Amino acid sequence: MRPSLTISVPGTTLAEHFSQEEILEIIGIVINMNVWTRLKMAEGAGLAKQATS
Protein backbone atom coordinates (compact mmCIF):
# COMPACT_ATOMS: atom_id res chain seq x y z
CA MET A 1 0.00 0.00 0.00
CA ARG A 2 1.39 3.42 -0.95
CA PRO A 3 1.00 6.35 1.44
CA SER A 4 -1.06 9.25 0.15
CA LEU A 5 1.25 12.12 1.08
CA THR A 6 0.52 15.34 -0.75
CA ILE A 7 3.04 17.92 -1.89
CA SER A 8 2.51 21.58 -2.72
CA VAL A 9 1.08 20.89 -6.19
CA PRO A 10 -2.70 20.45 -5.76
CA GLY A 11 -3.87 17.04 -6.91
CA THR A 12 -0.36 15.52 -6.94
CA THR A 13 0.92 12.99 -4.39
CA LEU A 14 4.45 11.80 -3.67
CA ALA A 15 3.26 8.29 -4.51
CA GLU A 16 2.70 9.39 -8.11
CA HIS A 17 6.39 10.22 -8.47
CA PHE A 18 8.31 8.08 -5.96
CA SER A 19 8.33 4.48 -4.78
CA GLN A 20 7.36 3.69 -1.19
CA GLU A 21 11.05 3.11 -0.35
CA GLU A 22 11.98 6.54 -1.74
CA ILE A 23 9.16 8.22 0.18
CA LEU A 24 10.33 6.60 3.42
CA GLU A 25 13.86 7.80 2.71
CA ILE A 26 12.61 11.37 2.17
CA ILE A 27 10.64 11.19 5.44
CA GLY A 28 13.73 9.94 7.28
CA ILE A 29 15.86 12.77 5.90
CA VAL A 30 13.30 15.41 6.87
CA ILE A 31 12.98 14.01 10.41
CA ASN A 32 16.77 13.87 10.80
CA MET A 33 17.09 17.47 9.60
CA ASN A 34 14.44 18.54 12.12
CA VAL A 35 16.15 16.73 15.00
CA TRP A 36 19.60 18.08 14.01
CA THR A 37 18.23 21.64 13.82
CA ARG A 38 16.59 21.37 17.25
CA LEU A 39 19.82 20.01 18.76
CA LYS A 40 21.85 22.86 17.27
CA MET A 41 19.30 25.40 18.52
CA ALA A 42 19.48 23.87 22.01
CA GLU A 43 23.29 24.00 21.88
CA GLY A 44 23.15 27.65 20.86
CA ALA A 45 20.72 28.44 23.67
CA GLY A 46 23.01 26.67 26.14
CA LEU A 47 26.08 28.58 24.91
CA ALA A 48 24.22 31.89 25.08
CA LYS A 49 23.09 31.11 28.63
CA GLN A 50 26.67 30.27 29.63
CA ALA A 51 27.96 33.50 28.09
CA THR A 52 25.54 35.61 30.15
CA SER A 53 26.43 33.84 33.44
State residue 53's pLDDT score.
Answer: 64
pTM of the predicted model over 0.75: no
Question: Kindly report the CA angle at 23 between 28 and 11, in degrees rounded to 5?
Answer: 130
pLDDT in tens, 26-48: 999 999 999 999 999 988 887 77
Q: What is the pLDDT of residue 12?
A: 74
Q: How many helical (H) and strand (E) elements, i.e. helices and strands, does the chain have?
A: 1, 0
Choose the weakest-confidence range: 12-16, 19-23, 46-50. Answer: 46-50
Whether 40 contacts 47, CB under 8 Å: no
pLDDT surpasses 80 at 25: yes
Cβ-contact 4, 13 below 8 angstroms: yes
Please tell me the predicted confidence (pLDDT) of residue 20. 92
Type and span of the H or E element at 44 = helix 20-52
